Structures are given as structure tokens and as C-alpha cells.
Structure 1
Amino acid sequence: MDRVTSDDGTGISFSRTGDGPALVLVHGTGVDRHVWDDVIPALGESFTVFAIDRRGRGESGDADDYAVGREFEDLTALATAVDGPVNLLGHSYGAICAIGAAPQLPDLRRLILYEPPLWRGDGTSAPSPTPEQRRMEALAERGEKEAILETYWTDLRGEPHRLDRLRSRPDYRRRVSAAHTLPREMGGRREFRPTPESYPEVAVPTLLLTGSETDDRIKRSVDAAADLFSDVRRVEIEGHGHAAMNTAPDRFVAEVIAFLAND
């Protein structure tokens, strides 16, 4: 593992695989860099792949106070440590972080966003945290991480069957380890609400990936993300949802390579 130091002094760890142009991978909520394990070997045949552990999980450090802008600074620290132009790929909340960091990267070549769950609305107001979020915040303060997952999937999402499936996965313990980041990232979505009027111009080709089976709420968020960019291409991965890098790794890699290979 390698490490860079973010602006607030937090150490941000990342793995480096392969050879070629730089491709930074930014994972989403509740996981760490290992969510990319199914696609890193194939991507590494064409790119030098930097898979980051976002702050608060994996081998990265953390800070006492969280703000989504710190995540933008983390990505900027990594990108500026890389020689030459950088391609940036973010998934879910990691795509939100990529959107926030993109205007700060002077040598950004291309941007890939896989279903960023941007806050939808007029960009000026947002509801208060839900009771479930408040409960998860209290659980995080007490270190009750499995209870956070139970609250998130059962009470907030109403999908206890999803939690049952997660418990049977080999990465479940890593998800428990990262559970304290769930409520703070819910707050991060309210904190960062870019609009076409407020978001700086990012003049690089941008690919928006969605799955045909993805929840309509996320698809509407992707629509909102599309409005932020002037040079945007959209691709739908048929038959898959929010984690095609795991459920359809070959198709996912093919779409990424095809987009990044174009001049």
C-alpha cells in the first residue's frame, strides 16, 4: 500500500496495480477499495490503477470531524501525486466525491461516474436528518457498527433481505468496519448539492454509467449529474444494477476501456 497526506493531515492509502495511463478508482458507501477487486486485474492491463481507501476505512486514516469537502481534498492529493494526466472513476458516493474533486484537478483527462446519488432539488434547501440517521449517528458514537447496518437496511431502506445477503458475503466484516461512515455520508449528500449554476465548468469528456435494473431514484440523480457537464456520454448496462463492476465485470471493464481509449 502507498499513502498520500491530505490537506488536513489525514493519511490516505491506495493500492497501485498495472502499467499505463493513470486511472483512479473511488469506491462508494459502506465498502473499501476491495470492491474493485473483480475489475482491477483487467483494468491493470491497460492502465496504472490507483484504488483508494476513502478516509475512515481500510488502511486510510480519519479525522474527528467529517465534511464531504475533505474527500475532495483526498482525491486531489492523490491525483497531484500521480505523474501525468489522470482519469477518474467514481462509484455511488465515490462518484459524488469525484464530481466534487474534478474542478480542482488541473490535469484531469476523463471522468467516469457510475450512478452518483446526488441530492435532488433546487440546491438551496434540504430536509433535516431523518430519525434513522440520527439513530445511526448515536450508534456510531457508541461504536455499535452492526446495529448501524441493521438500522440502515431494515429501518431506513426497508430491505432486511439485503442485509441477510450481506451477512453471507466474505466482505461482511469489512462492511461492518466501515459502517460508521454511513450516517455521515447521508449528511454529505445534503451538504454537497451542485447545480448547473453553482458547479464550475469541467471541460473534460464525461461518461455516466447506469444499470437498467437500478432504482429509479438513483436514475433521476444520474439525470441531475448529466446536467452538470457539457461533454457527457451515457451508457446503460443492461440487466444489471448498482454494482456492475461485481455482477458484470467484463462488460464494465469493456465500457471503461472503450471510453478512455478514445482521443
Structure 2
Amino acid sequence: MVIVPGVMADAQTWRPVVDAIDLPNPVITVNRRGRLPSGPLGPDYAVGVEVDDLRHLITSLRQQVHLVGWSYGGLIALEAALVQDEVLSLIAYEPVARPFGTKALAPLRKAAADNDFDQTVELVNTIVSGFATDYVAELRRSPAWPVLRSLARPLAEELAAINDYEPALSRYRQLNVPVTLLLGELNAGQAPYGTAFAAFADALPQARVVTLGGQGHLAHAQAPRQLARAITDAVVHAG
């Protein structure tokens, strides 16, 4: 199994999910560009670069894989699965695509230029995710804040890449492997994650849609065992 996290996440933040997955499969969680020990995004960074990185990783494993992607990682996983024969099944938890978080791009770029990653974490939680200021204030006091701050450096460029990229939605019907789409119950029909999810669900009528009860976009952090069960069930369902 190969897991592709989204923004402000890495292999360590997904470790509780991996530990709770009840399958014999070895699990690899990708530390994408911009996350140690991987290198920086690079001057020509784009979604296509991420897709190529993932394809190279899968090819290097020399075996078939169950592919899991969350948020931006879901978009990367879907695009890679279109052209990667080694994918056995695909699980995408609230993938995102353009237009997404466009109002946050300018202030995020300014925060990045100022090396103000506290501001970056605040902006992504308020302008992009739509969380209340009280929630963000509580988050700032929690042990999660320094972790998020450390992962915030590539965020502005990643968000720009998402908005510069046109996903191949019209080709998703051609995916001939089992696909499971995971949706947090709290995001159903709600911007930004629920509305982004709807576009992928429309493009993948063959997909099995599973709702994560009581969850939003952050089940990997807030309900890792529940998310692990959904991933386990999806792989078992895929056969």
C-alpha cells in the first residue's frame, strides 16, 4: 500500500492511521517534496512533477499497489492511476482540484516571503478550510501547532500548483480498478472540501462512496482508527 498525504502532512502525521490499518500489506507513506528527508519543491514545481514522482516510486517497487491519497494527495494519486498499470485499487479521501482556496493565494505567498509560518497555518485554517477563529486559537495552543508550522513552508506553492493544474476528470471513467471515495460527513455539500469532492464523484460514477461519520477533512489526525478501518474495508472490498 502506498499513501500520499496532502498539504501540511507527512509520513509521521499519518503514522497513527498506518499503525491501525488491519491488513498484512506493507505500507509506504510518501514524504513528498518539501518534507524531510525529501528535497525542496524545485524551480519547476507543478502537479505533474508530483505525479511523476509517485509514478517513479510505484515503478521502483516492482509490484502492484493499493494507492491511497488524501486531499492534494488524492488528486496526485488519481492522476497517477490513469497511467500506472501497477495500481490494484485506489482510495481517495476528499481529493481537491481547481479552483481551490484562490482567495488565500496572495496572503499565503506574502506569509511565505516573510517566513511567517504561524500566519500560514492560521490562513490555511481560516481562509481555505473555513474554520472559526476560536478553533484556530485552540489549535494554536495545542501540540499540533508546531507540527503544522513545520510543514507549512511549501503550502503557498502547492496551492498555486493545484490551481494551475487541469485534472483529467473526463478520463476518470476509464479507470478500470476498484475506486473508493471517502467523504467526511461534516463536509457533505459544504465548501471547500465537499464541493471539491462532488466534482470527483461526478467524474467517477463507478466509484464506491463511503462517508466517514462525524468527521471532516482531518480524520487522519482526529479519528485515525476510523479512517484506518475505512481504508482496510476498501482494500478488502477491492479483493
Encode CA deviations 1:29-55: one digit per residue, 9 max, x unaligned: 112222212121232752100011111
> 1:68: which partner in 2?
47
Q: Are 1:168 and 2:146 matched, yes or no?
A: no
Q: Hey, what's the Cα distance between the residues in 1 that align with 2:2 and 2:233?
A: 16
SS of the residue aligned with 2:203? coil
Select the residue among 123, 131, 151 that pairs with 1:178: 151
Could you tell me whether the CA contact under 8 Å between 1:203 and 1:230 is conserved in 2?
Answer: no
Instruction: Give the alignment of 1:241-252 within 5 angstroms.
Output: 241-252=216-227
Select the residue among 84, 96, 106 that pairs with 1:134: 106
In the TM superposition, what is the alpha-carbon distance from 1:158 to its structure 2 partner?
Answer: 6.3
Q: Hey, what's the Cα distance between the residues in 1 that align with 2:98 and 2:211?
A: 21
Q: Are 1:96 and 2:71 matched, yes or no?
A: no
> 1:14: which partner in 2?
none
In the TM superposition, what is the alpha-carbon distance from 1:208 to its structure 2 partner?
Answer: 0.4
2:124 partner letter: Y
Note the residue ranges of structure 1 that are not aligned, 5 or more in a row. Answer: 1-22, 121-125
- The 1:196–1:57 alpha-carbon spacing in structure 2 relative to 1, beyond 3 Å, is closer
Could you tell me whether the CA contact under 8 Å between 2:21 and 2:229 is conserved in 1?
Answer: no
2:118 partner letter: E
Q: Hey, what's the Cα distance between the residues in 1 that align with 2:127 and 2:208?
A: 36
Q: Are 1:39 and 2:17 matched, yes or no?
A: yes
- The 1:102–1:185 alpha-carbon spacing in structure 2 relative to 1, beyond 3 Å, is same
Select the residue among 80, 102, 120 that pairs with 1:148: 120
In the TM superposition, what is the alpha-carbon distance from 1:60 to its structure 2 partner?
Answer: 1.2
Q: Hey, what's the Cα distance between the residues in 2 that align with 1:49 and 1:143?
A: 34
Matched positions, count: 234
Q: Hey, what's the Cα distance between the residues in 2 that align with 1:95 and 1:155?
A: 21
Q: Hey, what's the Cα distance between the residues in 1 that align with 2:220 and 2:95?
A: 15
Q: Hey, what's the Cα distance between the residues in 1 that align with 2:74 and 2:169?
A: 17
Higher helix share: 2
- The 1:37–1:137 alpha-carbon spacing in structure 2 relative to 1, beyond 3 Å, is same
> 1:115: which partner in 2?
94
Report percent identity of matched pairs. 28
Q: Hey, what's the Cα distance between the residues in 2 that align with 1:230 and 1:154?
A: 32
Q: Are 1:25 and 2:3 matched, yes or no?
A: yes
1:48 partner letter: P
- The 1:247–1:171 alpha-carbon spacing in structure 2 relative to 1, beyond 3 Å, is closer
Could you tell me whether the CA contact under 8 Å between 2:47 and 2:161 is conserved in 1?
Answer: yes
2:50 partner letter: E
Q: Which moved more, 1:184-193 or 1:229-238?
A: 184-193
> 2:58: which partner in 1?
79
In the TM superposition, what is the alpha-carbon distance from 1:260 to its structure 2 partner?
Answer: 0.8
Q: Which moved more, 1:250-259 or 1:88-97?
A: 250-259
In the TM superposition, what is the alpha-carbon distance from 1:76 to its structure 2 partner?
Answer: 0.9
Select the residue among 216, 221, 232 that pairs with 2:196: 221
Q: Hey, what's the Cα distance between the residues in 1 that align with 2:24 and 2:142?
A: 30
Could you tell me whether the CA contact under 8 Å between 2:22 and 2:228 is conserved in 1?
Answer: no
Could you tell me whether the CA contact under 8 Å between 2:185 and 2:212 is conserved in 1?
Answer: yes
Q: Are 1:57 and 2:35 matched, yes or no?
A: yes
TM-score, normalising length: structure 1: 0.79
Select the residue among 219, 232, 235 that pairs with 1:257: 232
Q: Hey, what's the Cα distance between the residues in 2 that align with 1:83 and 1:195?
A: 26
Could you tell me whether the CA contact under 8 Å between 1:203 and 1:231 is conserved in 2?
Answer: no
